[in-house]
Structure 1
Amino acid sequence: MLPKPGALFVDAVKSAGGEVAELSGATRGIVWLTSDSASDLGVALDANPQVQWVQLPWAGVDAFAEVLQSHDRPHLLWTSAKGAYAQPVAEHALMLALALLRRIPERVRATSWGESTGDSLYGRNVVIIGAGGIAVELLRLLAPFDVDTTIVRRSADPLPGADRTVASADLDEVLQGADLVIVAAAATPGTRHLIGERQLALMKKTAYLVNIARGGLIDTDALVEALVSGEIAGAGVDVTDPEPLPDGHPLWSAPNLIITPHSADTPQMIAPLLAARLEQNVTAFLGDGAFVGVVDPQAGY
């Protein structure tokens, strides 16, 4: 367990019948607990070719893209926390959406009574980009609002719970009718700036955009311009590009925008969820093989 074992995670390994020990020639699996120093993970794997399984700490694995591809070898399985943090992240996305519709960015800055404005989420057209655990949980949370939901994913294979599922090639088409767009896709070279100037221009001026995936999926400069010009009604982002967002960046002063500092899944929230995922995968490693969150090193998720 590297770089440093945590008591909660050690207990999870032991509960599943595993043992935590110093890295050595007897090590069969590595639990990596930070996104920092991904190159150090590569060094550990180079020195220990006998390792058969690596558990990564986050749902997104873009921070490990290089080491994943350079160490994509037979008999080495990679798993991540994808899906494990779906509940708090989906909850955060819903919070941002409701706050935008109810004009909270404007009201928290207000110093006078102003006008009574705001919109309801009920019956709206919601587009969710991505079809992983967060999207599945979002569909469940959105169901009581009687919204019309469209999932955008690599293929048009239906996602249960969605009113329709379309392939990524149809993104521009479905954006045109969306009242709310939620970005919940994996960050890969192919999804960088998935939402750019053209996509923002296609959206209705009354539409809102929420990003709880990775900052690079949205072209930041294009988002600033769309908000300043009124091309879209507002946005809520828990992730930015760059991140952390520097003081004085134009995004901070863009109108009708909520920025939260990558807090959809705080350490306090995710620690028990990661421990549960770890226990599942240690059980799989030692016996039943039913791993959760398996990563394709070449696809990057």
Structure 2
Amino acid sequence: MTPEPGPLAVLPVADPLFVDAVRAAGGAVAPLSASTRGIVWLDNAGGDSLGEVLAAHPDVNWVQLPWAGVDSFAEVLRQHDRPGRIWTSAKGAYARPVAEHALTLLLGVLRLLPTRIRADSWGAKGGASLYGRRVLVVGAGGIARELLRLLRPFEVDVTIVRRTAAPVPGATTTVTVDRLDEVLPAADVVVLAAPLTEATSGLLDAARLAHMKPGAYVVNVARGGLLDTGALLAALDAGHLSGAGLDVTDPEPLPTGHPLWRHERVVMTPHTADTPEMTRPLLAERVRDNVRAYLSGGGFTGVVDPRQGY
């Protein structure tokens, strides 16, 4: 069903960048009222507030969410989905900076940068190359596809794990999630780039980490809940895994003093794969595209399926 267009509200604060994006696409921005038909929501932590707005304004037929992942809005999606209401997110919009960060983390752990950055003497030589490695990527969205493009010069063999076995351009092999345990032991590197849902929570647990090839590496730029933090630490301490690159953790933020912060096998960043400086113009572009789709009767980018959670 195509939503009937009407005035749009930019909430919870009418940020000028996004007000201008709506207007540039031909949309009408107005304060929230009974006539509001679309919402551009900019507060990632404001799920409860968004729910209150939707409960009070049932005629809203389109909601644009601010991030690629919508796990923080899971309850709102469950409670306030209804026939004719379209939800869109920023999925795919931030693919380039996040994929770039994933590659940065991976090269950092391969080249032993945690040790070398802290060193105060010449020390022993060490490190590994990415060229020719077997890389397993969990997820097939924008981040995964951009990472495939960035990995191409390294002549890696890439296996994609996703919901369907439909081939992904640039990947050598594509398998469904139920075959993860089958392909995991062959991977030199595992990159997590999947949404956090009930089905993917704890995906890499102690059993699966133990199932990985000795000496393998893990990179997580998706959500901390995909990876068991305690099990990862144990696998690193035991020497079963050679390293981990983490932009997200569980819990998040990771407590001050947690052993992973100073671990010689870990490169960690505080969920900065896509900073506001990077994401704001990209989200504004997504808003412009989706306002045009809203006004023209369809063709939205980043449509969310509330039942799937992404």
TM-score computed with the length of structure 1 as normaliser: 0.98
When the two structures are aligned, how many residues end up with a matched partner? 301
* Residue 147 (structure 1) aligned with residue 171 (structure 2): no
Residues 25-174 of structure 1 aligned to structure 2 (within 5 Å): 25-174=34-183
**2 CA distance for matches of 1:216 and 1:258?**
18
Deviation at 1:229, TM superposition (A): 0.8
Q: Is the 8 A contact 1:228 1:255 kept in 2?
A: no
Residues 248-259 of structure 1 aligned to structure 2 (within 5 Å): 248-259=257-268
SS state of the match for residue 119, structure 1? coil
Q: Quick check: 78-87 or 13-22, which moved more?
A: 13-22
Give the counterpart letter for 2:116 in structure 1.
R
SS state of the match for residue 107, structure 1? helix
Which of these residues, 19, 23, 32, is aligned with residue 10 of structure 1?
19
**1 CA distance for matches of 2:190 and 2:163?**
17
**2 CA distance for matches of 1:41 and 1:212?**
26
* Residue 279 (structure 1) aligned with residue 279 (structure 2): no
Q: Which ranges in structure 2 are unaligned for 5 or more consecutive residues? A: 1-9
**How many percent of aligned residue pairs carry the same amino acid?**
61
**1 CA distance for matches of 2:13 and 2:281?**
17
Q: Deviations over 1:164-203 (max 9, x none)?
A: 0011111112111111110000000110110011111111
- What root-mean-square deviation, in Å, do the aligned CA atoms of Structure 1 and Structure 2 show? 0.9
TM-score computed with the length of structure 2 as normaliser: 0.95
Give the counterpart letter for 1:263 in structure 2.
T
Q: Deviations over 1:90-126 (max 9, x none)?
A: 0000000111111111111111111121111111100
Runs of 4+ in 1 over 6 A off after TM superposition: none
Which of these residues, 217, 221, 224, is aligned with residue 233 of structure 2?
224
Deviation at 1:248, TM superposition (A): 2.0
Deviation at 1:159, TM superposition (A): 1.1
User: Counterpart of 1:245?
Assistant: 254
User: Counterpart of 1:23?
Assistant: 32
**2 CA distance for matches of 1:246 and 1:102?**
26
Q: Deviations over 1:59-89 (max 9, x none)?
A: 0000000000111101110000000000000
